[in-house]
Structures are given as structure tokens and as C-alpha cells.
Amino acid sequence: MKSHSEIVFENDRFRATKWTIQPGGTIPMHRHEYDYVVVPLSDNLMHVTTADGELIEAALKPGTAYGRNAGSEHENENRGDSDVVFIEVEYLK
């Protein structure tokens, strides 16, 4: 799998998880239970495959962010030659 996560902050409203996907690694297909924001820590290209098979090439740039609603379902893949690293902040409504 070549990916791992570490919860770096959590309280009754938010959870922040640092994700690292090594070259050739994936975060398998998953569905998000909560609304979330992603803050890239590395400058990479991440390949995202949605539940309906759509492939999205997501350019990650440090200092930027994007968000998705609960229910988002996808797989994340690192096809590059350096680690993909980002913080995912979930709003635990």
C-alpha cells in the first residue's frame, strides 16, 4: 500500500490527519464520512480515481487548499518519484 497516516490534532469538532503516500503507493477506495479540507505539504501530482471510474490529476501545491463534502468516494495514487504529503482536516459535525 505504501501509505500511512497520523492524527496530528483532534477535538470534538475537528480531526487533522497527516497523510504520506510514497511513490507507487495508494490510499485505497474510501468514502468520507465528514466534510473535509486538504492542505498540501508537498509539490506533487496525485492521481484520484472516483467511485464511478473518473481519473483526476490533482496538482498539489503547498500553501493551497481544497475541500469536499461528506460522501466523497475515491482512491488516491502517487505515480511520481517523491512522497505526496498533505493534511486532511475533517469537520466532525
Distance, CA of 39 to CA of 2 (rounded, Å): 20
| Structure confidence by residue, pLDDT tens digits, 40-72 | 999 999 999 999 999 999 999 999 999 999 999
pLDDT at 93: 84
Superfamily in which the 3-91 domain is placed by CATH: Jelly Rolls (2.60.120.10)
Distance, CA of 36 to CA of 47 (rounded, Å): 18
Q: Would you kindly state where each structural domain of the chain is located, as residue ranges?
A: 3-91
Closest to 51 measured CA to CA, from 30, 27, 35, 23: 30
pTM, 2 dp: 0.94
